[in-house]
Amino acid sequence: MTRSALPGHRAVLAGADRARDALALFAETSTRLQRLMPFDAAVWRATDPLTGLTTAPVLVENLNEGGCGAYWECELLGENINLFRDLSRAEVPAVGLRESTGDRQALSVLYRKFMLPRGFDDELRAVLRVGGQPWGMLSLFRERGRRPFDAGDAGFVGSLSAPLARRLRSYAQPAPTPVSTAQGGPGLLLFDSADVLVSINEDARRLLAEMPPGPSVATRFGVALPAWILTMATYARTATGDENARIRIPTRTGHWLVCHGSRLREPDGRPGATAMVIEPAKVSEVASLVMAAYELSPRELEITRLIARGLPTRDIADRLHLSPHTVRDHVKAVFDKVGVTSRGELVAALFTEHCEPLAAANTVRVLGEPPSVPDHPSPVRSWGTASRA
């Protein structure tokens, strides 16, 4: 039996195509899944496909605010059983805790510090992935006294992974993206060694207000920090080497923010506070996300960028050491994935609609006739009137 033919599969996915956004997708799918495979609590979260880190939105069902904080802390700081990053590469991207540990669930940090105090006896977690990239993750919990999740449950949820990931990916293929017109600089936040917010600037307050609804934690500064910001702070504090503590976040108004954090160092080299920056996404940030949304291969992405620069097939073939026939095959594949029929439509879909508004908002136009350039021009010269386009 194929995965798509599993009993109840279509029933769970019936509302997926109609969901207007990721939060609605999570809510609708969770309701339908609960009818077929009962659970007592759940955490659904979108992830940045390029880094695998939690981004907006997050849906938490039947867990109180304190429970959310404990969940993130266990997942990021101590868990070593059924890690999401390992599930992203597993043959079946879903697994039950008791099934995988042979009923030794106490081996899990999440079980000892989060599940046991709340009466949960088993967790089934899954990665929503497609094209090798994670677009979402979920955890389902059952209380003591309920039947543990088994391999059949894991297989069923695993069969939902790709179709739900495709739908999540489609939300990164929006209509032309509005650009924030709010003036100001980047938002700056500072966290202490316990991930408690100790300082924030006004730009951060403004940008936090643009973020979508979701679970959050109140602070003494009068602002609530979304779950994805808190997980980012924890990840940045614990990241080692060249791990990328960076996520893109869709806002209430339809544009994108980028959030990145890093651990600061004291004069003696000891780890210090964690600094986080939130700012409007640059052209490159949006372009890479849009490319991931359409699941372009590295070669297809390379050819698409050359098309955007106006290179004909022969020049692309020469530059990439390919035959023109191979280039045409790649172009056709890109057209099929993006849903266009010409190079002009492709450039409009991937660059003009998504990136040009961002580029235009940061373009400085100089008006007026430039003076003649002397034989020995001064190092700095300006003319006309500069204005923001």
Would you state the pLDDT for residue 183? 61
Cα–Cα distance, 292 to 133 (Å, whole number): 8
Are 257 and 249 in contact by the 8 Å Cβ rule? The answer is yes
Choose among 234, 240, 199, 203: nearest CA to 220: 199
DSSP secondary structure code for residue 63 in this structure: -
Identify residue 359 by its one-letter amino acid code. A
CA distances from 53 to 41, 144, 246, 326 (A): 21, 30, 8, 35
Our measurement of the distance from residue 375's CA atom to the centroid of its chain's CA atoms, rounded to an integer in Å, reads: 53
Cα–Cα distance, 210 to 249 (Å, whole number): 10
Are 125 and 95 in contact by the 8 Å Cβ rule? The answer is yes
Would you state the pLDDT for residue 227? 87
Instruction: Give me the residues of the chain with pLDDT under 70, please.
Output: 1-7, 65-69, 76-78, 173-183, 240-244, 283-289, 348-389
Cα–Cα distance, 224 to 63 (Å, whole number): 18
Are 173 and 293 in contact by the 8 Å Cβ rule? The answer is yes
What's the token pair of residue 266? 């004291």
Residues 6+ apart with CB under 8 A from 327: 303, 313, 316, 317, 320
Would you state the pLDDT for residue 65? 63
Percentage of the residues of the chain whose pLDDT score is greater than 70: 78
What's the token pair of residue 119? 């009466």
Do 187-282 and 3-170 have the same topology in CATH?
yes
Domain boundaries, the chain: 3-170, 187-282, 296-361
Would you state the pLDDT for residue 155? 94
Would you state the pLDDT for residue 189? 95
Choose among 120, 76, 113: nearest CA to 96: 120
- Full-prediction pTM beyond 0.95? no
CA-only gyration radius of the chain, Å: 24
Pick the CATH number of 187-282 from 3.40.50.2300, 3.40.50.1100, 3.40.50.360, 3.30.450.20: 3.30.450.20
Would you state the pLDDT for residue 369? 47
Identify residue 191 by its one-letter amino acid code. F
Question: In terms of C-beta density within 10 A (0-12 exposed, 13-18 middle, 19 or more buried), how is residue 381 classed?
Answer: exposed
- CATH fold group of domain 296-361: Arc Repressor Mutant, subunit A (1.10.10)
Residues 6+ apart with CB under 8 A from 364: 386, 387, 388, 389
- CATH fold group of domain 3-170: Beta-Lactamase (3.30.450)
What's the token pair of residue 336? 């099929």
